[in-house]
Amino acid sequence: MPNSPHSSQHTLAGTISQSGVGLHSGETSQVRILPAAVGEGRYFVRVDLPTQPRIPACVGAVSQTVLSTQLEAGAASVRTVEHLLAALAGSGVDNARIEIDAAEVPLLDGSARIWAEAIAKVGRSSVPAPTLVPQLLEPVWVREGDTFVAALPAPETRFTYGIDFETAAIGNQWHSWTYNTSTFAAEIAPARTFGLATQIEFLRSQGLIKGGSLENAIVCTPQSWLNPPLRFANEPARHKILDLVGDLCLLGTFPNAHFLAYKASHKLHVQLAQLLEQKMKS
């Protein structure tokens, strides 16, 4: 996979602090995001553990993808990283040290809006440093049944996502967004995680969504939304783009490609990232 140069890298111009409840664990965690040096990338540090292990936000660190993306290094892990990582990548932050004192990133309001607003408030600093942007030459895709996620050769990075639910309030939705750090905060970051009311008890019986509530997710019954209004008419489809951005940014740099997904999942997102990483190394 050939590369084209990008002239600078960015980190934060200050420190961000935020705390909240994790979606699946239900536990409160404190996060501090600090500037990092050129080339360090985005990475987590478990400051609550004795050796304060570093967990890189990279494809090779993914350990599981059940209703969220989890990263692992040795015995240390951090879960539900996708919204925070999407906020950093969508805001153009290449290098960041993310200190966390628990095993799950707080869900906050279920979107990346609070993270994106905090990044905009502290600002970014740039350092002249060459970054190679991979150029995709042929389509790459993964599928499972009628669900798929693909990367298609394109002159710029674009994300398109489709979902299809029998629930009338959601139905068939699509959204497409060209990667742009100046529009991410308004068009993608505010889209909240969503769920079906009929699945809540089952998921909790599986030890999941212990921290989920109507304050951090939009929840749909077979007829309507329990907690309207929506932030966008197609908020669920936009949220899936948020998840896809958060998962694919584990590549470090997005290839110039059109990423097209339909009814996909964190599992398929990561599988595509793994295939792309192989091509980027070849």
CA dihedral 271, 275, 276, 280 (to 10 degrees): 140
Tokens representing 254 are 């997005």
- Give dist(CA 280, CA 282) in Å, integer: 6
Tokens representing 55 are 């967990």
What is the identity of the amino acid at 191?
A: A
Residue 266 annotated to the active site:
yes
- Give dist(CA 27, CA 135) in Å, integer: 41
Catalytic option among 10, 239, 266, 269? 266
Q: At 186, which helix (H) or strand (E)?
A: helix 184-187
Measured in degrees and rounded to the nearest 5, phi and psi for residue 83 equal -70, -45
Q: Residue holding tokens 């040795």?
A: 74
Residues marked active site are found at 266
